[in-house]
Chain A
């Protein structure tokens, strides 16, 4: 499948990665190459095969539903680019 620049721009938008208009054709070409490589998978007969979710048949274990952690506001905020008054600060989201 050939990926056009419009699709490339849409994917970049979905991935929240800014891509300059001028870089879109090269990006679209890369996608086309990689997806071309992936398309070999269409040769495989997968009729009746369940998509694999886990390599081990075990069910993910669950811990007891108890509070076992918390009160670590300082540690949680320690690496934030902008933390104020105990919160993460971001540009205005609602008017």
Chain B
């Protein structure tokens, strides 16, 4: 594959501005890499015609000296973002044939900044999953491979992470409700950031759990994450939870100087059966931040253990409400009806045919915990526990902690199909380190840290103070410099 695809966003941006390449060249290289990536099953909707038009327009802007941050850079778009006139299915059968009549705010912002969309990306159905195995398009495959098995790229932004790791595009959009950016980033040796809740507009992103959902980028490194995140953020009157506060220059925050910063190490994240390599990388990361001048302090986040059960009440409850719109009336799939079928049969058949089993399970759990008689016992209790989880973090930050270092996932990527017969709760445990952050609405980033004994990437997570993505990115930048991870997967799929 062309060397152009080895570039980072920052590298490609600089090359474009210096006239060393053009967006058309970059885009053609990306589209060739996309075409060659079929065995990975990451791209699910072709947008090459749009990409070529956007690339030509970008080159004109660059020539005219009007080149914003993302101008001319080929990226992939998670299938959860509504893209005008382009199939948007959230990897679900129920949205078969759906072509939005509008553009999501985040994708519009990226296009305004000159980004080129080379395709829509595979994901778990409605972003519900941690392995990209609930997709109607079939599994996305991790470009990392250690034997005959195909490995999961993680989920739900599995296609996004795999596409970036495989260098088919320079970066990709993701969304994160319980870890769906950070967990796949960790599984694929890429960088993924979820900003503070309210930073990115949710308008036009197919909703899963509205109080938890946030968009963010998956990139090759921290600088790229800063560049792309800035282009995605900003106030939007169309999302009532969007924060009306200025977006700082995130890239300018990357000084690498973290002297005097206080890093918290939460004891509750030291879980049973943690692989020794992960524990060692965590200790190594801690030491590196210390060597860079940060102070390290042991902290306690006592309600950590209850984050997953609280999440598996709140997220399904919100999902059951959000997904009520898929009724076979206004868009998407409608079941074939038999003589005598009324509107209830239409709803029930449509939703049984259109939703996969994990989505059905979560919608029904959500329905149950919100139903009369159980609302207080389950939903309100979970929301109270959520308040306590957030308070754990508030207390840590009030005590002077600037960022918290944890592992991103409890293990490296597993084989596709290996969890097929497992209890759904087992799969949920892959989000154990990431889900607390969504419940508290905080920004967090996953940075590739090293390889496990089998040769698969592992990630470390940094959690920051609300609205201080710049400082968080800078701490991640210092960690990245010290870790020096630059291994790429062998291109076995070409």
Residues on A close to B: CB < 8 A?
11-12, 14-19, 27, 30-31, 33-35, 37-44, 46, 49-56, 58, 60-61, 63, 72, 75-76, 78-82, 88, 90-93
**Does B368 lie within 8 Å of A11, measured CB to CB?**
yes
Residues on B close to A: CB < 8 A?
97-102, 197-198, 211, 237, 240-241, 243-244, 303, 305-306, 308-310, 312-313, 320, 324, 327-334, 337, 341-349, 351-352, 355, 360-361, 363-365, 367-369, 371, 378, 380-388, 390, 423-425, 428, 439-441, 466
Query: In this complex, which of B100, B101, B440, B466 has the most chain A Cβ atoms within 10 angstroms of its Cβ?
Result: B101
Question: How many angstroms from the CA of A75 to the CA of B237 in the assembled complex?
Answer: 21
**Does B332 lie within 8 Å of A46, measured CB to CB?**
no
Contacts known (A44-B385, A44-B388, A50-B384); A17 close to B425, Cβ less than 8 A:
no
Return A93 CB to nearest CB of chain B, in Å: 5
Question: How many angstroms from the CA of A15 to the CA of B197 in the assembled complex?
Answer: 28
Contacts of A17 in B (CB 8 A): 348, 351-352, 355, 360, 363-364
Not counting A18-B351, A55-B197, a sample of 14 additional A-B residue pairs whose C-beta atoms are within 8 angstroms of each other reads A16-B347, A19-B352, A33-B423, A44-B388, A46-B381, A46-B388, A54-B241, A55-B211, A56-B241, A79-B99, A79-B101, A79-B332, A91-B343, A92-B342
Contacts known (A41-B306, A79-B99); A88 close to B425, Cβ less than 8 A:
no
A77's nearest neighbour on chain B, judged by CB, is B330
A–B complex contacts, Cβ < 8 Å, 8 sampled = A16-B327, A17-B364, A33-B425, A39-B309, A41-B306, A43-B306, A49-B387, A92-B342
Find B441's partner among A34, A56, A92 (CB 8 Å cutoff).
A56
**Does A34 lie within 8 Å of B312, measured CB to CB?**
yes
Contacts of A58 in B (CB 8 A): 243
Contacts of A33 in B (CB 8 A): 423-425
Contacts of B387 in A (CB 8 A): 49-52
Question: How many angstroms from the CA of A55 to the CA of B341 in the assembled complex?
Answer: 44
Contacts of A39 in B (CB 8 A): 309
A89's nearest neighbour on chain B, judged by CB, is B329
Query: In this complex, which of B303, B309, B390 has the most chain A Cβ atoms within 10 angstroms of its Cβ?
Result: B309
A-B contact number at CB 8 A: 161
Contacts known (A79-B101, A81-B329, A81-B333); A18 close to B348, Cβ less than 8 A:
yes
B387's nearest neighbour on chain A, judged by CB, is A52
**Does A41 lie within 8 Å of B351, measured CB to CB?**
no
Question: How many angstroms from the CA of A75 to the CA of B341 in the assembled complex?
Answer: 29
Question: How many angstroms from the CA of A92 to the CA of B345 in the assembled complex?
Answer: 12
Contacts known (A14-B367, A56-B441); A51 close to B425, Cβ less than 8 A:
no
**Does B328 lie within 8 Å of A41, measured CB to CB?**
no
**Does B329 lie within 8 Å of A88, measured CB to CB?**
yes
**Does A38 lie within 8 Å of B237, measured CB to CB?**
no
Return A88 CB to nearest CB of chain B, in Å: 5
Return B387 CB to nearest CB of chain A, in Å: 4
Query: In this complex, which of A40, A44, A54, A75 has the most chain B Cβ atoms within 10 angstroms of its Cβ?
Result: A44
Find B330's partner among A12, A40, A79, A92 (CB 8 Å cutoff).
A79
A37's nearest neighbour on chain B, judged by CB, is B425
Contacts of B241 in A (CB 8 A): 54, 56, 60
**Does B365 lie within 8 Å of A34, measured CB to CB?**
yes
Question: How many angstroms from the CA of A61 to the CA of B344 in the assembled complex?
Answer: 36
Contacts of A43 in B (CB 8 A): 306
Contacts known (A11-B364, A55-B441, A81-B329); A93 close to B351, Cβ less than 8 A:
no
Find B211's partner among A11, A40, A44, A54 (CB 8 Å cutoff).
A54
Find A15's partner among B337, B363, B386 (CB 8 Å cutoff).
B363
Contacts of B345 in A (CB 8 A): 18, 91
Find A40's partner among B243, B305, B386 (CB 8 Å cutoff).
B305
Contacts of A93 in B (CB 8 A): 342-343
B99's nearest neighbour on chain A, judged by CB, is A79
**Does B330 lie within 8 Å of A75, measured CB to CB?**
no
